[in-house]
Amino acid sequence: MMMTQDWFMCGLCGALSVLFMAGCETPQGQLQKRIQHESAFFETLPEEAQERILNGQLNIGDPSTAAWIVYGQPTHTYDRTTEASTNMVWSYCTVDAQPVDQFQSVHYPVLGRRGTTYWTTDYQLQRSYLYDRNEYLRIEFSGDKVLAIDIIKQKK
C-alpha cells in the first residue's frame, strides 16, 4: 500500500512540474508559435527576411505582420497625427510591481471585567504594491509598413 502512494505522489509531482513548465515558455518558443500562426505570410518572405525574423530582427519597411511575429501583440496602439499624415503606433510596455510594507492601525472593541466595552488600537503590517509602467519599444507604421522603431532606454 505504501509503495502505491509513493508512485502516486511521484506521478502527481511529475504532472504538476509539466503544467508549471508549460506556462514558462521561452521567447523563442513564443516566436515559433507566432510564425506558425502566420505561416502563409512567413513562407512568402525571402530567405534573408525569414532568417532575420527568426533572429528577432525587424527592419524599416517590413510589414506589420512581421512586426507582430517578432514582438507579438502590442500593449497599446494609438494614432500619431502630424501635418503630413496619421500613422498607427504600436507600444510595448512592462509593468513593474514594487512592494510597499506599512503598518496600519486597527481599532477593535475589548470587553472589560464589568461588561464595559473598551476600544483598543493595534497595528498590523500590510503589504501593498506600487505599479510602474515602463514602455520599452514603439513601432510606427505608415500604411502597413514599418516607418520607425523606437527602443526606449530605461533609467538606472
Q: Amino acid letter at 122?
A: D
Domain-embedded: residue 97 = yes
Domain tally, the chain: 1
How far is Cα of residue 48 from the mean position of the Cα atoms in its chain?
A: 30
149: nearest Cα among 85, 80, 63, 60: 60
- By the 8 A CB rule, do 98 and 130 touch? yes
Question: Domain of 92?
Answer: 27-151
31: nearest Cα among 68, 69, 63: 69
Predicted confidence (pLDDT) per residue in 97-148, tens digit: 999 999 889 898 999 888 889 899 998 888 889 888 899 999 999 999 999 9
pLDDT at 11: 55
Domain-embedded: residue 21 = no
Domain-embedded: residue 20 = no
Domain-embedded: residue 146 = yes
Domain-embedded: residue 112 = yes
**Per-residue b or e along 3-41, where b marks 16 or more CB atoms closer than 10 Å to that residue's CB:** eeeeeeeeeeeeeeeeeeeeeeeeeeeebeebbeeeeee
pLDDT at 14: 55
Domain-embedded: residue 51 = yes
Q: Coil, strand, or helix at residue 23?
A: coil
CA gap 94, 89 in Å, rounded = 17
Domain-embedded: residue 2 = no
Predicted confidence (pLDDT) per residue in 55-98, tens digit: 999 999 999 999 999 999 999 999 999 999 999 999 999 988 99
Using pLDDT thresholds of 50, 70 and 90, give the confidence band for residue 2.
very low
Give me the residues paired with residue 101 across strands. Answer: 127
Domain-embedded: residue 156 = no
- By the 8 A CB rule, do 93 and 71 touch? no
